[in-house]
């Protein structure tokens, strides 16, 4: 892609996929790890908090065996239209990815602006950045056809708190009632039988004054590393019940929550997939990833605020 700005490297592709899906490939750590970077590179995602001010930190593993730490700070996130971020490790630059719908296909344009033309040229010569950008988008195009409708949802965020404390706030009722749930909700009733086979049964108060019941049935409890449970909407008797909104939602889903400590901080990763579901319900789950990300982002925001209250 040609440009008149001597400080810029850019590339553009049209993908045979809807815009919402292409956008999600840039915001889901499980997916972006599969295609990000030039040919031969692999990735380890440390944290990926896709919101203005959020951080994406990852290690790129080169084909020569070298590791390259990358840290990105998001400036603007407008789903599903635009992502703007600053690359703050190594050569500094600001990148803008735009997603345009073209009759069901998606035109993706990626632009990286450096401070000077000299820096842009040095990066292009020393790191092969122009060809690297082209190869990265080629790899995205190769990854898109591998997706299936029952693909799991993943979200991750790093919190400024030790793992032992994080485990407590996820597993003790006195903590969970202060933060769990999307923004605007609060836990108004809860009961916890914390053991494999046991259940967390709760009710969320909603902004309209109603209650929304849910339950987790624990499969694995590995302190302080991992929680695995089957989640479902329920009634007040803890029986599985239909979703309280007008879509064909899976009756049960499987959640895996992992906690990884590094440098006194804890990275929380949520993996969520349809479990007991018809094909139609799996498609609904797949199509709802954007709203799920919004709900979990609000929940993480409340958790972040609560951790600041309970730490000295």
| Domain range list for the chain | 8-146, 153-310
Residues in Cβ contact with 266 at an 8 Å cutoff, skipping those fewer than 6 apart = 158, 159, 161, 162, 163, 165, 166, 259, 260
One fold for 8-146 and 153-310: yes
Region of 183 on the Ramachandran plot (φ > 0 left; ψ -120 to 50 alpha; else beta): beta
**pLDDT above 90: percentage of residues in the chain:** 82
Chain-wide mean pLDDT for the chain?
93
C-alpha torsion sign, points 248, 281, 34, 23: negative
Cβ–Cβ under 8 Å, residues 259 and 225: yes
Secondary structure element (H or E) that encloses residue 120, with its range: helix 117-127
Q: What is the pLDDT of residue 207?
A: 87
Beta strands in the chain (DSSP E): 8-15, 42-48, 55-61, 67-78, 82-87, 93-102, 105-114, 153-159, 186-192, 199-205, 211-222, 226-233, 252-262, 265-276
Q: b/e per residue, 76-88, with b = 16+ CB within 10 A?
A: ebebbeebbbebe
Q: Is residue 1 over pLDDT 60? A: no
Judge whether residue 96 has pLDDT over 90.
yes
Residue 145 has pLDDT above 60, yes or no: yes
Q: What is 8-146's CATH topology?
A: Alpha-D-Glucose-1,6-Bisphosphate; Chain A, domain 4 (3.30.530)
150 pLDDT more than 70: no
Confidence class for position 3, pLDDT limits 50, 70, 90:
low
The per-residue pLDDT for 162 is: 96
Q: How confident is the model at residue 208 (pLDDT cuts 50, 70, 90)?
A: confident
DSSP 65: S
**174 Cβ contact list (under 8 Å, min separation 6):** none
Q: Assign domain 153-310 to a CATH class.
A: alpha beta
- Is pLDDT at 2 greater than 60 in this prediction? no
Contacts of residue 178, defined as CB under 8 A and 6 or more positions apart, other chains included, come to 306, 309
Question: Cβ of 307: how many Cβ atoms within 10 Å?
Answer: 18
Going by C-beta distance under 8 Å and a sequence separation of 6 or more, which residues neighbour residue 81? 23, 98, 99
Q: Are 14 and 99 in contact (CB under 8 A)?
A: no
First to last CA, the chain: 52
Tell whether the model's pLDDT for residue 290 goes beyond 90: no
What's the pLDDT at 123? Answer: 92
């Amino acid at each position: 892609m040609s440009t008149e700005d001597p400080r810029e490297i850019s590339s553009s592709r049209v993908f045979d996929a809807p815009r919402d899906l292409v956008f999600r490939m840039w915001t889901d750590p499980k997916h972006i790890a599969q295609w990000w970077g030039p040919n031969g590179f692999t990735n380890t995602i440390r944290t990926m908090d896709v919101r203005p001010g959020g951080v994406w930190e990852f290690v790129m593993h080169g084909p020569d065996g070298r590791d390259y730490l990358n840290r990105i700070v998001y400036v603007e996130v407008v789903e599903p239209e635009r992502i703007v971020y600053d690359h703050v490790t190594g050569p500094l630059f600001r990148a803008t990815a735009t997603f345009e719908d073209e009759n069901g296909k998606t035109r993706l344009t990626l632009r990286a602006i450096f401070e000077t033309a000299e820096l842009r040229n040095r990066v292009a010569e020393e790191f092969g950045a122009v060809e690297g950008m082209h190869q990265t988008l080629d790899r995205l195009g190769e990854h898109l056809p591998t997706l299936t409708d029952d693909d799991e949802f993943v979200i991750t965020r790093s919190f400024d708190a030790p793992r032992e404390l994080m485990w407590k706030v996820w597993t003790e009722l006195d903590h969970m009632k202060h933060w769990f749930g999307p923004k605007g909700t609060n836990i108004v009733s809860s009961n916890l039988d914390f053991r494999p086979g046991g259940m967390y049964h709760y009710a969320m108060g909603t902004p309209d004054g109603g209650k929304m019941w849910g339950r987790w049935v624990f499969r694995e409890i590995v302190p302080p590393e991992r929680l695995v449970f089957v989640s479902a909407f329920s009634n007040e008797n803890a029986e599985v019940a239909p979703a309280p909104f007008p879509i064909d939602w899976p009756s049960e889903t499987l959640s895996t929550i992992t906690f990884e400590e590094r440098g006194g901080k804890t990275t929380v990763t949520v993996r969520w997939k349809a479990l007991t579901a018809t094909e139609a319900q799996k498609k609904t789950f797949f199509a709802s990833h954007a709203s799920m990300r919004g709900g979990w982002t609000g929940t993480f925001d409340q958790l972040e605020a609560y951790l600041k209250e309970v730490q000295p």
